[in-house]
Amino acid sequence: MAKILCHVGLFREVEFLLLAMEREGIWLGCHEIFSNLIEGYVCSGELEKAVSMYDRTRRQGLAPSSSCYQLLVDNLVRMKKTQMVFRVFMDMFEMGVESSEMVKATMENVTRLLCADGKIQEARNLVKKVMAFGFKVSDFVVNEIVYGYCEKRDFDDVLSFFLEINTIPDILAGNRIIHCLCSCFSADSAELFMHELENIGFVPAEITFGILIGWSCHERKLRSSFVYLAEMFRRGLEPHICSYNALIAGLFLKGLWKHARVVFDEMMEKGTRPDLSTFKILLAGYCKARQFDEVKRTVCEMENYGLVQNVSGEDQLSKAFLVLGFDSLAVRLKRDNDVHFSRTEFFDSLGNGLYLDADFTEYEKRVTGILEDSLVPDYNSFVIKECDHGNLKGALILADEMVHWGQELSLPVFSVLLKGLCESLYSPKVITNLLEKKPNLVSLLDLEALNLLVQVYIKRGWTHNGKRVLDSMFERHIKINNKTYTAIITGLCKTGNLRDLHDWWDIAREARWLPGLQDCKALLECLCKREMLEEALELLEKMLVSYPHLRLDICNLYLEKLSSTNFARVAHILLEELNQRGFAVNHIAYNHVIRGMNKEKKFSASLRLLNNLLAINLAPCLDVTLLLIRQLCRANRHEEAVALKEIGLRDHSFSSLSVNNALIEGFCVTGKVREAATVVQKEMLLKGIFPDAETSNILVQGFCKVNSLRKVGELLGTMIRKNFELSIPTYRNLVHLMCMEGRVLRAVRLKERMLGQSKSHDLIIYNILVFHLFATGNILFVNDIVHDLQKEEVELDEVSYNFLVYGFSRCKDVSSALHYLSTMISKELRPSNRSLRVAITTLCNSSELVKALELSREMEQRGWVHDSAIQSMIVEGLLSRGKLQEAENFLDRLAEKHLIPDSINYDNLIKRFCSYGRLIKAVDLLNIMLKKGSLPSSTSYDSVIISCCASNRLNEAMDFHTEMLDRNLRPSIGTWDMLVHHFCRDGQTVEAEKILISMLCLGEMPTREMFSSVIDRYHHENNPRKAMGLMEMMQRSGYEPDFETHWSLINKLRTSFNKSNNESGQGFLSRLLSESGFSRKTDSKTK
C-alpha cells in the first residue's frame, strides 16, 4: 500500500499510514519506503520535509538507498545547507557506500560548499573520514581545502594537511600557495615554503618560478629574481614570457636600461617570441630613460613583427607614444634651438640637443605605471581588457590560465565576463563551464547578470539550468525583469509545458509584466501555436493601454500572427471589433487577414473582406491583389477579377505586368484560355505592355490543359523567337500533353531545348520525361534516355532511380527494375517505400520469392521499415509454399528489429494464419496492430474467435468477442453461430443463451439453427421452462418451431401444468397448439 501511494505522489498519506502503524506498535522495517518518501519530497521541492523524514529513518536504524543519499546531498548543497550536508554525508559513509564515482561527485560538491562557508576544518575531517574508508579523494577536493587555508593565511595548516593525508601537492595548489605567500608576506617567505613543499614531493614548474620572479621584481630584489631565472635554466625549464617581461621592467625601474636589451636578446635566443606587452615595456622603459633612439629601434622591430603598421613618412616616436596611450599632441620631442636659454635634456646619436614637451608628472606616471603593472601579471585586468575589446574567447583563455598563476577571478571581472558571454550569444555549455568553476561567485552576481543568464538558458533550451538560477533569484529576493519573464514564458510555450506556463503567466501578471513590441512577436506566435488565445488577447489589451503611441503597430502585429497561425477567423473577429471600437485600422490589417483566410482555404470570407476593404476606399497590397485576382477567377467571378485588376494597375502601376499575368493565370486555371489570350492582345499589347517569359509560360500551360496542341506549338515558336525560357511546370505540362497525344519524339526533342537553357535543372528534366514515358507505356524510349544520361555522365538521384524501379516494375520488366534497385542501394541511396513495395510485389507475383527474401534481408540490414504490403506479399509467398515456420520467423525478426511501421495492417495475414491453425501468431499480429494504433477489422476478430472455438478455447473466444464489441466491431453471423454451437456442445447452455440475447440487443437476428441448438440443449438437460422461454423468443423473432420440438416439449411440460389454472379453460395441448399457430378446426355439428 505504501509503495503504491509513493508511486502516485501521495507522500503525506504515506506518512499518516506509517504513523498509524507505529501507534499500533507495528514498525515498518523497509528502507525502500522511506527512501521513496525522501526522494519524493526532494523532487517536489519540500526539502525540510525530506530532512525530517531522513532523521526519522535514521532514528529507526534504517539507511536510505545510495541514490536517495545522492539526491538529498545534491539538493542540500544546492540550497547551501552546510551543516546538514556535512552530517548526511558523514552518515552516508558510516552506512557504507557502493559507488566510488558517486562518492567523488558528491564529495566535490560538499567540500566546495564547506570551504565556501569557511568551514575548512570540517572539510578536512571529511577528507580524513573518506580516506579512512579506502576512497581516494580527487585533486579538486584537496585544492579546495588548500584554497580555503590560503584565504585564511593559515599556511602551517596547509603543510600539516598534506602530511596528514600523505598527498603530494599538484601544481595548481602549489602555485596558489606561493602566490598567496608572496602577496601576503614576501617572495623570500614563499621560497622557503616552496622548499618545504618540495620536501614532501612538490615539483615546481616554470610558472612557480615565474611567480617568484615577478614578486621579487615587485620588491625590487633583482638579484633574487635572476637567481630564480638561473635555477629555472638549471632545471631545464623554459621561462614564461611574463617572467621575461617582469625582469625587463624591473631593470628599467632600477635604471639599468642597458641590461634590459640583454634580457630581451636572451629571450629571443631561447625561442620565446615577444608579444605586444613585451614591446610596450621596452617602449615605456626607454621613454623613461629618455633613450629615444632605442624607442625608434623598438618601433622598427614591432613593424617587423606586424604589431604596428609600417606607413612611410610616419614619425616612429609618434607611433611609440600612441602605443603607450599618449595623445599625439600631448607629448612631443623637440630640438633645442634656443642659443640663449638651453632646454636640452639629452642628445641624439648625431649630437642634437633635445627636450621633451609634455606634462612631466603625467608622463612619468604613465610610463612607470606600465612598468609596474608588468612585474606581477594581473590576470583580472587582462580579462577586463579583452572583454572591453570584445575578445571573449581570449578572455576565457586568460581565465583558465590565471589559475596556474595562483590567481582567481574577482567578482566584478567574473560578472563582466559572464554578461559579455550572455550578450554575445555564446554556447550555454561555455557559460555553464564558467559557472561551475566559480559557484561561490554565482550567488553574489547582481540583478542584471542573473536576468541575462536566465534569458540565455531559457532561449537556448537549457530550461533546467535556467530554473536553478531562478530558484536562487527567488531565494535572494532578486527582481525578475520584463525580458526574463518574456523569455521564460516564450520558452515554456515552445516546449509545450503548459502547466508551468500557466503558473509563470500568473506570476508574471502579478509582477505587472509587459513585453516590448519586438519580444512580443515571438511570444505571440508561440501562444497562437499553443492555441492560448485567451492569454494572447489579455496581453493585447495590456499592450494597447501601455503603448498608446504604438496601437496601430500592435494591432497589425496581432492580426498578422493570428492570421499566419491558422486563426484567421479570430483575426477577422478582432478586426471587426477594432473597427467597432473606433480604431483606425489601415489596409495592412486587412491584408494580413485576407492572407490568413486564403491560407486556410476560406476563400469566400477573403473575398468578402476584399469587398469591405474596397468599400472604405482602400486597396489591397500587391501580393494580396495578385492572390485575389486568381481566387476570383477560380470562383467564376471573372468580372470582379477584371475590376480588381484595374484597381491593381491604378495603385501598383510599376507592377502592371504582374497584375496582368495574375488575371491571365486565373483565366487559364479555369480553362478560359481564349479570354486569357484576349487580355494579352487587347489589354496589354494595345497599352504597350509586352508579355514576358512568365506570361508565355502561363499561356502554354493553359493551352496544354485544354489539349490544344496546335496553339501550344504557335506559342512555343513565339517563345523560341523571343528567346524566352520554358519553366519547369510548363515543360511538365508539355511533356504530358505530347506523350498523351502520341508525340513522343517531339517530347524527346523538347528535352534538348530545355537542356540548352540551364545545366542546373538537367536531372529534373530527365526525370519528368522518364515519368511520363512510363505513364504512357513508352518503355523503349526510357532505355534511350538512361543511355543519354550515362553518356552525359549525369549522376542519377533518388527520384530518378525510384521512377526507374517503379516504372520497370509496373511494366513487368523485373530484371531492369532489380538492376536499378540494386544500383541505387549500392550507392547508399534509400529507395522510396513505393519502389520497395512494387519491387517485392512484382517479384512475388513472378514466383521469384527467393529474390524477394534477399531484398528483404538487405532492407533488414539497413534498418528499413517493411510496410504492410511488403510483409503481406512475402508471408503470403511463404505460406503458399507451406513454409509456415519461416513465415513466423520472418515476422518475429521484423518485430525484434523494430522494422514495423506505425500504421500496419495485418488483417489478411491474421485470417491466413488462423486458416493454417496458427492461432498464437494470429493473436500476436492482432496485438501488434493494436499497439501501433491500428484497429483490426471485424474479419480479423472473426477469424481469431472461430479459431479459438475450433481449439475449444471458449474463454479466450469470449474475451476476443467482448473486445470486439467494445471496439464497435460487429461479428459476422458465422462467428455468432460458432460461439452458440460450441457453447452448446460444451454444455454451457446458459452462455449460449446469453449470446442469443446479446445478439438481439445489438439488433442482430439469430438464425433458426441457433435457436434450435439452444432449445435442444435445454431439452436434453431436462429444463423445459428455459426451452419454452427460448421458443417464445424464437417466435417473436419470426421463426415457427417445428412440430417435433413442440411435441417433445408438450410431453415434458404435461405434468407441470394444471389445466384448471388456464384462464382460457383450454387444455395444455390445445393452448400450446393455439399459441403456436396450430388452431383446431371446429366441427359444424358441434355448433
Q: What is the pLDDT of residues 269-303, one digit of tens each?
A: 988 999 899 999 999 999 888 888 888 899 999 98
DSSP symbol at 353: E
CB contact at 8 A, 800 and 766: yes
Could you tell me the maximum CA-CA distance found in the chain, to the nearest angstrom?
182
> 346 by DSSP, 3-state: which?
strand
Q: Give the total number of structural domains in the chain.
A: 1
pLDDT band at 1082 (very low <50, low <70, confident <90, very high): very low
Of 26, 93, 78, nearest to 47 (Cα)?
78
Q: What is the pLDDT of residues 41-72, one digit of tens each?
A: 777 767 788 888 777 777 776 777 777 877 77
Q: What is the pLDDT of residues 206-216, one digit of tens each?
A: 999 999 999 99
Query: Using CA atoms, how far apart are residues 569 and 553, in angstroms rounded to an integer?
Result: 20
Q: How far is CA 873 from CA 843, 846, 849, 877, 895, in A?
A: 9, 12, 9, 6, 17
Q: Does the residue 218 lie in any domain?
A: no
Q: What is the pLDDT of residue 353?
A: 66
Q: What is the pLDDT of residues 969-996, one digit of tens each?
A: 999 999 999 999 998 988 888 998 898 8
pLDDT at 904 over 60: yes
Element (H, E) at 355: strand 353-357
- The residues near 812 (Cβ < 8 Å, ≥ 6 apart) are 842, 846
Mean pLDDT on 73-84: 74
Q: Does the residue 422 lie in any domain?
A: yes
Burial of 636 (0-12, 13-18, 19+ CB in 10 A): exposed
- Name residue 329's amino acid: L
DSSP symbol at 971: P
pLDDT band at 1064 (very low <50, low <70, confident <90, very high): very low
Q: Does the residue 411 lie in any domain?
A: yes
**Quick one: CA dihedral 21, 23, 26, 29, positive or negative?**
positive
Q: What is the pLDDT of residue 453?
A: 94
CB contact at 8 A, 190 and 211: yes
Percent of the chain residues past pLDDT 70, beyond the cut: 88
204-233 burial code (b ≥16 CB/10 A, e <16): bbbbbbbbbbbbbbbbebbebbbbbbeebe
Q: Does the residue 364 lie in any domain?
A: no
884-909 burial code (b ≥16 CB/10 A, e <16): bebbbebbeebeeeebbeeebbbbbb
5 versus 748: the higher-pLDDT residue is: 748
CB contact at 8 A, 416 and 449: no
CB contact at 8 A, 731 and 768: yes
- The residues near 429 (Cβ < 8 Å, ≥ 6 apart) are none
Alpha-helical runs (H) found in 635-778: 638-651, 656-669, 673-678, 693-705, 709-721, 728-740, 744-757, 762-775
Q: What is the pLDDT of residue 878?
A: 92
Query: Using CA atoms, how far apart are residues 698 and 853, in angstroms rounded to an integer?
Result: 49
Give the DSSP letter string of 253-312: HTT-HHHHHHHHHHHHHTTPPP-HHHHHHHHHHHHHTT-HHHHHHHHHHHHHTTSS---T
pLDDT at 1058 over 90: no
Q: What are phi and psi for residue 356, nearest 5 degrees? A: -100, 125
Domain assignment of residue 462, given as a range: 378-479
pLDDT band at 784 (very low <50, low <70, confident <90, very high): confident
Q: What is the pLDDT of residue 1079?
A: 47
Q: What is the pLDDT of residues 502-555, one digit of tens each?
A: 888 999 988 889 888 888 888 888 888 888 888 888 888 888 888 888 888 989
- Name residue 145's amino acid: I
> 793 by DSSP, 3-state: which?
coil
Report how far Cα 789 is from the mean position of its chain's Cα atoms.
Answer: 41
> 785 by DSSP, 3-state: which?
helix
Mean pLDDT on 450-466: 90
Q: Does the residue 445 lie in any domain?
A: yes
800 versus 1050: the higher-pLDDT residue is: 800
Q: What is the pLDDT of residues 679-694, one digit of tens each?
A: 888 878 878 888 888 9
Q: What is the pLDDT of residue 1087?
A: 37
Q: What is the pLDDT of residue 335?
A: 64
Strand arrangement of the beta sheet that strand 332-335 belongs to: 332-335, 353-357, 346-347
Q: What is the pLDDT of residues 834-873, one digit of tens each?
A: 999 999 999 898 888 999 999 999 998 888 999 999 999 9
Q: What is the pLDDT of residue 1083?
A: 43
Q: What is the pLDDT of residue 914?
A: 92
- N-terminal to C-terminal alpha carbon distance within the chain: 83
Residues in the chain: 1087
Strand pairing class (332-335; 353-357): antiparallel
> 334 by DSSP, 3-state: which?
strand
Segment among 36-40, 556-560, 583-587, 877-881 with least mean pLDDT: 36-40
- The residues near 516 (Cβ < 8 Å, ≥ 6 apart) are 482, 483, 486
Q: What is the pLDDT of residue 471?
A: 85
Segment among 122-136, 178-192, 230-244, 581-595 with least mean pLDDT: 122-136
**Quick one: CA dihedral 689, 694, 700, 701, positive or negative?**
negative
Beta strands in 748-856 (DSSP E): none
254 versus 50: the higher-pLDDT residue is: 254
User: What number of other Cβ atoms are within 10 A of residue 554's Cβ?
Assistant: 19
pLDDT at 1 over 50: no
What is the residue whose three cell numbers read 547508399?
A: 828
Strand pairing class (332-335; 346-347): unpaired
Q: What is the pLDDT of residues 594-609, one digit of tens each?
A: 999 988 888 888 888 8
With left for phi above 0 and alpha for psi between -120 and 50, is residue 952 left, alpha or beta? left
pLDDT band at 326 (very low <50, low <70, confident <90, very high): confident
Q: Does the residue 421 lie in any domain?
A: yes
Q: What is the pLDDT of residue 198?
A: 93
Cell readout for 854 is 534477399
Of 11, 107, 13, 18, nearest to 57 (Cα)?
18
Of 74, 165, 77, nearest to 113 (Cα)?
77
Of 927, 978, 972, nearest to 957 (Cα)?
978
pLDDT at 405 over 50: yes
Dihedral of the alpha carbons of 144, 146, 151, 157, in degrees to the nearest 10:
140
Q: Does the residue 185 lie in any domain?
A: no
Q: Does the residue 808 lie in any domain?
A: no
- Name residue 669's amino acid: V
Burial of 627 (0-12, 13-18, 19+ CB in 10 A): buried
Burial of 1048 (0-12, 13-18, 19+ CB in 10 A): middle
